[in-house]
Amino acid sequence: MENRLTAEQMEARIVRYGELVPCRTAFIDAHTPGSDQKENFTIIGGGVSEAADQYVHIEETPGFNIGAAGQPPKCRNSLHSHRTAEVFFVLSGRWRFFWGNEGRDGAVVLEKGDVINIPTGIFRGFENIGTDYAMIMAILGGDDAGGGVVWAPQVLEEARAHGLILGENGVLYDSKKGAQLPDTVGPMPLLDAAQMALFPKVSAAEFVPRFVARYWDMMALADGQPAPVIGAEGLLRDRPGFELDLLRETSLSSGYTTDRHEVLMVLQGHWTLSWEGGSVVLAAGDTCAVPPGLNRHLAPSMSGEASLFRVRNTDDPAGPTLDFPTAGRSRP
């Protein structure tokens, strides 16, 4: 456990919003019209990218991964499923999240600060429905989040028509760049009708109350103490291997320490993180990985609205969404 850290060492644990390095070929739908302008960012851990050239900002994983997606208006992310948690909060813009085998079982619109904990084992996608380039931040369960992605069969078929093939080894092969499947590697098998029938149908009435938290509700609960958003006692009750809290300008009044890994993700305002050895200022969109055992003090740097999300690892294993009605069913 770390007890002292220099300012330079802490700076190496910060990924600044303005220094994020995008990957535009991270996934199978990178050439599919309507999805071909999206940018993906791997901030902490390897994430779920299928591209070998994805830039990873911080390789160390604390039991979960942190990433982001940036998209221009009308750009969408194609239908896929996860075996571990996929949690988003909106950093900027207006987003529509949709789910179901064809993406038509339900949808919800989220705006800045809203959180969605998409349950494992259902197909989901999202699109920017605003008027400007926008960003969502992601928290993915487990150290190896890449091992839990399943694409809807229509996504793989459409991608092949535009020159991209996903190998059964999880690697993308781009025929537009002259790449071909190796002789020893077959294409990723498509899920058949029987396998697709195992994925549950979830209505908006079931989904929204259990898996969506609105920013201003969280801000109200964070007055005087951090608001638990995801956790055994959170607004969204789940135990995906990490906990998520929202902090605002009135949430903390003294220093603290924890034996957990802690990742700070600023949503609004500027925050000063200080400890014995230095201090740094974090701005909106910045991500900071604070090591266990470091006594720290966290406070807004300026007057006005300030908020950030705090993620900590837990002893719970990464896996299916807690008490999701169909989580125990055998799905691909």
What domains can you pick out in the chain, each with its CATH number? 18-213 (2.60.120.10), 215-313 (2.60.120.10)
Tens digit of each residue's pLDDT (9 = 90 or more) over 66-117: 999 999 999 999 999 998 999 999 999 999 999 999 999 999 999 999 999 9
Residue 205 burial (CB < 10 Å; 0-12/13-18/19+)?
exposed
**Quick one: pLDDT at residue 147?**
60
Cα 269 to Cα 234: distance, rounded to the nearest angstrom: 24
**Quick one: pLDDT at residue 145?**
66
Cα 205 to Cα 133: distance, rounded to the nearest angstrom: 30
Residue ranges, the chain, pLDDT below 70: 1-3, 48-52, 145-148, 325-332
Place of tokens 């903390």: 252
Pairing of strands 76-82, 64-71: unpaired
Tens digit of each residue's pLDDT (9 = 90 or more) over 220-265: 999 999 999 999 999 999 999 999 999 999 888 789 999 999 999 9
Q: 157 to each of 83, 104, 138, 162, 191, how far by Cα in Å?
A: 22, 19, 26, 9, 11
Do 152 and 101 touch, CB atoms closer than 8 A? Answer: yes
> What Rg, from alpha-carbon coordinates, does the chain have?
20
Strand stretches in 59-171, DSSP E: 64-71, 76-82, 86-92, 95-99, 106-110, 115-118, 124-128, 134-141, 149-151, 164-166
**Quick one: pLDDT at residue 46?**
79
Indicate the SS3 state at residue 10: helix
Q: 49 to each of 15, 58, 306, how far by Cα in Å?
A: 18, 15, 32
**Quick one: pLDDT at residue 51?**
65
**Quick one: pLDDT at residue 28?**
81
The model's pTM: 0.92
Cα 272 to Cα 39: distance, rounded to the nearest angstrom: 29
Place of tokens 């988003």: 88
Write out the DSSP string of 275-319: ETTEEEEE-TT-EEEEPTT--EEEEESSSS--EEEEEEE-SSPS-
Do 163 and 33 touch, CB atoms closer than 8 A? Answer: no
**Quick one: pLDDT at residue 328?**
40
Residue 316 burial (CB < 10 Å; 0-12/13-18/19+)?
middle
Do 13 and 58 touch, CB atoms closer than 8 A? Answer: yes
Do 302 and 274 touch, CB atoms closer than 8 A? Answer: no
Count of Cβ atoms closer than 10 Å to residue 14 Cβ: 18
